[in-house]
């Protein structure tokens, strides 16, 4: 059965250069649409660039270019980045294209005619850098909370959208559709915003101040202000209401965004869509999107990515060094969808070596080599045993896990489900020992059963890995003799009865040499294993102690660290920020026992990479040497995450 699917990324601002954050959002959208296409759906993937506004006009003037020429150049740079990463978007929209401005003007005209827009007076504290007014609540010491520069008081006549009339409708809608905004933390954040009164939205700027925009169709002394221009790209790319593409794809629309633009997408946009539906004589929810999927931020080696720190990570760089697949795999696996995560080269190499080279690469190399070596005398496979049955069960389990996770945009869980199966297959090879069977002629039917199962399993991996690591998946399918486009429906184990012609495939993911960070990780692990004496005589001063920042942290997520018996990877909240902390407590706590607990962490510890995972702090735990008991420090009474401990 084929379904319709429409997924958008935000349109990226042409004043930015493509960086890791943009690449992540676009890789997620690419992975999801590849998955839906694999499942047989008609999946449409939209990305593009946002090209209007003060900042674009100003920087073009500084560069001695027209805003259009500069937008052309910078938009092409984003497009080149996505092409270099092999991202298969269906359409690339630019807000300076006529097809976009036409739809924006048509919609504004319809809302004006329907009385959804009025002319009013507006006064406010304006930041030229942000191109926006700030409310008294948002201002920090009279300054822009973003730029920390003084604001300018501006009073002018502007057009307003009657957004306030939609507040109670929007609250009811979000409460009635628990997964409209997901993951849940962002839904809660939106409901939090909506506890304050929703004001009407200023949607215009006088042309005397801003020329580079789309003129209002009912008053050309004004241009359209940012969100009424930018958000409408999701409709204009489909030709707008009435166009057959809109009628086909819009009802299946899902958006993918980073958390910084949650408010416009979760509040302004549903109200705009409700007003448009009303203007078209439809129920308010008629045009509402299906889901708003929100992801977190990447930090770089433990630090927030920012222009001022000079650590803005270029979008394509990791792929140039380690390949597109390794890059995709790392970002998809490392970030729990919705939470923040840290990007570091050491962690990426750790994942590449452990998951891709060792687990997957070795399995494919072993299986294809065994089949290619022993296929010549293949006969009829012997009966299926409990070993094969358990492999078939593991594959069915992996499919269930994958499909369920992808339905919830939980990319990391989808990959974890596939890697469970890869682990089971490596154990199957170890247990059945085909090389030993090959030495005994009487075991030939048994050997053939094992080889057929391996060929079947490798073919299965060539399908389910396709959305995540498309280049490797294509190589796997070629090695196993696949000629037709992969279909998710064929990812079922236990139906293959004859051995196909298989080519040896080794070095699918070459290991990356022992890096400095790998060595540091081992050192740090060794240091953790050394018990600290409690009977030391060295004293420290209160000042020395106060240099250690201890804070209350709430554990949000916990998982085992691959290949480690001792380490757990914890995602903790310190209130204003989230961190990844690796703790050597896996032999004492199951990950599920820790989620929701408030613990005490050293917050200003130098970050260290442990088994390829960067740890940004340390969880405090007490332990005894004799019987090896261990207990994590928790609170006697409740305190909010981030509270100082001293």
**Does residue 628 come out as left (phi exceeding 0), alpha (psi in the -120 to 50 range) or beta?**
left
DSSP state of 421: H
Closest contact distance (angstroms) between CB of 129 and Zn ion is 4
| CB 95 to Zn ion: min, Å | 21
Q: Is 242 left (phi over 0), alpha (psi -120 to 50) or beta?
A: left
The interface region with Zn ion, picked from 93-101, 142-150, 376-384, 589-597 by CB under 5 A, is 142-150
CB of 306 to Zn ion, least distance (A): 14
Q: Which is nearer to Zn ion, 209 or 282 (CB)?
A: 209
Structure tokens of 498? Answer: 């004859």
Please give the C-alpha separations between residue 348 and each of 297, 304, 340, 356, 499, in angstroms, as whole numbers: 17, 18, 16, 11, 36
Using the minimum distance from each CB to Zn ion, give the nearer residue, 205 or 351: 205
Nearer to Zn ion, 149 or 188 (CB): 149
304 in catalytic set: yes
Q: What phi and psi values does residue 540 have, to the nearest 5 degrees?
A: -120, 160
Among 85, 144, 394, 422, binds Zn ion (CB under 5 A): 144
For residue 629, give every residue at least 6 positions away whose Cβ sits within 8 Å of its Cβ, in sequence order, or none: 588, 623
* Distance separating alpha carbons of residues 555 and 610, to the nearest angstrom: 19
Minimal distance in Å, beta carbon 153 to Zn ion?
Answer: 15
The region of 129-137, 350-358, 372-380, 413-421 touching Zn ion under the rule CB under 5 A is: 129-137
From 4-12, 71-79, 137-145, 371-379, span contacting Zn ion (CB under 5 A):
137-145
Nearest residue (CB) to Zn ion, 126 versus 337: 126
> Strand 152-161 to strand 117-127: parallel, antiparallel, or no bridges (unpaired)?
antiparallel
User: Cβ closer to Zn ion: 147 or 400?
Assistant: 147
Reduce the DSSP state of residue 94 to 3 states and report it: strand
Q: Shortest approach of Zn ion to residue 149 CB, angstroms?
A: 7
Interacting residue with Zn ion among 113, 146, 157, 260 (CB under 5 A): 146
- For Zn ion, which residue of 86, 109, 124, 129 counts as binding (CB under 5 A)? 129
Site map (CB under 5 A) of Zn ion, residues 501-540, x = contact: ----------------------------------------
Least Cβ distance, residue 127 to Zn ion (angstroms): 3
Which one, 66 or 306, has the nearer CB to Zn ion? 306
* Residue 422 bridge partners (DSSP): none
How is the chain split among helix, strand and coil, in percent rounded to 5? 45, 20, 35
- Whether 127 is catalytic is yes
Q: Which of 125, 127, 255, 569 is catalytic?
A: 127
Q: Of 139 and 396, which CB lies nearer to Zn ion in the complex structure?
A: 139
What pairing do the DSSP bridges indicate for beta strands 621-623 and 618-619? Answer: unpaired
Please name which of 479, 372, 363 lies closest in space to residue 427, comparing C-alpha atoms.
363
Which range touches Zn ion (CB under 5 A), out of 125-133, 272-280, 431-439, 565-573? 125-133
Residues 33-72 interacting with Zn ion (rule: CB under 5 A): none
Query: Pick the catalytic residue: 55, 130, 291, 563?
Result: 130
DSSP states of 326-345 as a string? HHHHHHHHHSPTTS-EEE-H
Indicate if 253 belongs to the active site. Answer: no
At 628, list the tokens.
């090896």
Residue 307 is a binding residue for Zn ion (CB under 5 A): no
Helix (H) or strand (E) holding 6: strand 4-13
With contacts defined by CB under 5 A, how many residues of the chain interact with Zn ion? 6
147 is catalytic: yes
Residue 482's alpha-carbon distances to 64, 457, 474, 610, in angstroms, are 54, 13, 9, 40
Least distance (Å) from Zn ion to the CB of residue 146?
4
Which residue stretch of 57-65, 140-148, 385-393, 483-491 sits at the interface with Zn ion (rule: CB under 5 A)? 140-148
Whether 144 is catalytic is yes
Separation in Å, CA 269 to CA 93, 119, 255, 289, 477: 18, 20, 11, 9, 43
124 binds Zn ion (CB under 5 A): no
- Kindly list the distances between the CA atom of residue 407 and the CA atoms of 33, 265, 287, 411, in Å, as whole numbers in the listed order: 12, 21, 21, 9
| CA–CA separation, 110 and 97 (whole Å) | 20
User: Does 307 participate in catalysis according to the annotation?
Assistant: yes
Q: Has 19 been annotated as catalytic?
A: yes
Question: Distance between CA 544 and CA 139 in Å, rounded?
Answer: 36
Least distance between Zn ion and beta carbon 125 (Å): 10
Of 147 and 519, nearer to Zn ion (C-beta) is 147
The pair of structure tokens assigned to 585 is 């407590």
The catalytic residue among 22, 265, 295, 569 is: 22
Query: Which range binds Zn ion by CB under 5 A, 64-72, 120-128, 135-143, 240-248?
Result: 120-128
Binding mask 77-116 for Zn ion (x = CB under 5 A): ----------------------------------------
Check binding of 147 to Zn ion (CB under 5 A). Answer: yes
Q: Is 139 in the site for Zn ion (CB under 5 A)?
A: no
Instruction: Return the number of the residue (85 or 127) whose C-beta is nearest Zn ion.
Output: 127
Q: Which is nearer to Zn ion, 146 or 389 (CB)?
A: 146
Please answer whether residues 438 and 374 qualify as being in contact, where contact means their C-beta atoms are separated by less than 8 angstroms. yes
Question: How far is it, in rounded angstroms, from Cα 582 to Cα 302?
Answer: 13
Q: Which stretch binds Zn ion (CB under 5 A): 104-112, 122-130, 167-175, 297-305?
A: 122-130
Q: How far is CA 39 from CA 46, 394, 466, 487, 583, in A?
A: 19, 20, 11, 6, 39
Exactly one of 221, 280, 282, 307 is catalytic; which is it? Answer: 307
Interface stretch with Zn ion, choices 119-127, 314-322, 393-401, 508-516 (CB under 5 A): 119-127
User: 52, 100, 125, 144: which is the annotated catalytic residue?
Assistant: 144
Point out the catalytic residue in the list 304, 321, 516, 523: 304
Binding of Zn ion by 127 (CB under 5 A)? yes
Rounded-to-integer distance, Cα 207 and Cα 220, Å: 8
CB-nearer residue toward Zn ion: 130 or 621: 130
Tell me the C-alpha to C-alpha distance, in Å, between residue 123 and each of 135, 140, 160, 318: 10, 18, 13, 46
CB of 259 to Zn ion, least distance (A): 18
Q: Which is nearer to Zn ion, 129 or 500 (CB)?
A: 129
Residue among 95, 40, 88, 20 nearest 463 (CA): 40
Pairing of strands 598-602, 550-560: antiparallel
Catalytic-labelled residue, pool 147, 221, 282, 519: 147
CB of 53 to Zn ion, least distance (A): 13
The residue whose two tokens read 């962002």 is 186
- Residues numbered 177-236 forming contacts with Zn ion, rule: CB under 5 A: none
User: Are 224 and 204 within 8 A, CB to CB?
Assistant: yes
* Binding string, residues 399-418; x marks residues near Zn ion by CB under 5 A: --------------------
Residues that bind Zn ion (CB under 5 A): 127, 129-130, 144, 146-147
Active site residues: 19, 22, 127, 130, 144, 147, 304, 307
């Amino acid at each position: 059965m084929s379904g319709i699917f429409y997924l958008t990324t935000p349109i990226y601002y042409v004043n930015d250069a493509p960086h890791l954050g943009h690449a992540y959002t676009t890789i997620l959208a690419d992975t999801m649409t590849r998955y839906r296409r694999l499942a047989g759906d008609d999946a449409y993937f939209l990305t593009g660039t946002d090209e209007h506004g003060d900042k674009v006009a100003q920087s073009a003037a500084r560069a001695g270019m027209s805003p259009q020429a500069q937008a052309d150049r910078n938009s092409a740079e984003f497009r080149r980045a996505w092409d270099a990463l092999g991202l298969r978007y269906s359409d690339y929209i630019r807000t300076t294209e006529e097809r976009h401005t036409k739809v924006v003007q048509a919609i504004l005209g319809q809302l004006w005619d329907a009385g959804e827009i009025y002319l009013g007076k507006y006064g406010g504290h304006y930041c030229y850098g942000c191109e926006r007014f700030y409310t008294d609540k948002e201002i920090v010491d009279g300054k822009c909370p973003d730029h920390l520069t003084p604001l300018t008081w501006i009073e002018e006549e502007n057009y307003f959208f009657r957004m306030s009339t939609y507040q109670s409708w929007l609250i009811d809608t979000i409460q009635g559709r628990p997964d409209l905004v997901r993951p849940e933390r962002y839904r809660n954040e939106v409901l939090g915003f909506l506890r304050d009164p929703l004001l009407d939205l200023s949607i215009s700027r006088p042309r005397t101040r801003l020329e580079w925009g789309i003129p209002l169709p009912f008053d050309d002394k004004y241009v359209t202000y940012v969100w009424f221009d930018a958000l409408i790209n999701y409709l204009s790319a489909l030709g707008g209401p009435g166009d057959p593409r809109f009628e086909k794809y819009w009802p299946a629309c899902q958006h993918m965004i980073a958390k910084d633009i949650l408010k416009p997408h979760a509040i302004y946009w549903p109200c705009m869509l409700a007003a448009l539906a009303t203007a078209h004589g439809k129920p308010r929810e008629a045009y509402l999107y299906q889901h708003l999927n929100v992801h977190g931020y990447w930090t770089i080696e433990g630090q927030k990515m920012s222009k001022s720190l000079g650590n803005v990570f270029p979008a394509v760089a990791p792929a140039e060094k380690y390949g597109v697949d390794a890059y995709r795999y790392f970002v998809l696996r490392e970030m729990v969808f919705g939470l923040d995560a840290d990007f570091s080269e050491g962690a990426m190499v750790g994942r590449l070596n452990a998951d891709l080279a060792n687990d997957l690469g070795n399995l494919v190399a072993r299986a294809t080599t065994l089949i290619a070596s022993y296929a010549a005398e293949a006969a009829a496979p012997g009966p299926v045993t409990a070993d094969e049955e358990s492999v078939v069960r593991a594959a069915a389990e992996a499919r269930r896990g994958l499909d369920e996770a992808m339905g919830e945009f939980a990319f990391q869980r989808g990959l974890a489900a596939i890697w469970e199966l890869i682990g089971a297959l490596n154990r199957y090879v170890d247990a059945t020992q085909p090389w030993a069977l090959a030495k005994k002629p009487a075991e030939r039917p048994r050997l053939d059963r094992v080889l057929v199962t391996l060929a079947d399993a490798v073919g299965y991996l060539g399908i389910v890995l396709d959305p995540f690591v498309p280049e490797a998946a294509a190589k796997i399918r070629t090695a196993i003799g696949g000629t037709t486009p992969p279909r998710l429906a064929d990812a079922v184990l236990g139906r293959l009865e004859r051995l196909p012609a298989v080519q040896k495939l080794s070095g699918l993911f070459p290991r990356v040499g022992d890096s400095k960070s790998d060595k540091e990780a081992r050192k740090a692990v060794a240091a953790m294993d050394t018990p600290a004496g409690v009977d030391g005589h060295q004293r420290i001063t209160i000042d020395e102690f106060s240099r250690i920042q201890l804070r209350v942290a709430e554990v949000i997520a916990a998982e085992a660290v691959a290949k480690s018996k001792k380490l757990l990877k914890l995602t903790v909240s310190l209130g204003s920020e989230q961190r990844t902390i690796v703790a050597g407590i896996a032999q004492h706590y199951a990950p599920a026992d820790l989620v929701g607990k408030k613990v005490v962490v050293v917050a200003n510890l130098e970050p260290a990479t442990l088994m390829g995972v960067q740890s940004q702090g340390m969880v405090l735990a007490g332990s005894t040497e004799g019987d090896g008991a261990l207990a994590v420090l928790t609170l006697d009474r409740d305190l909010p995450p981030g509270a100082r401990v001293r």
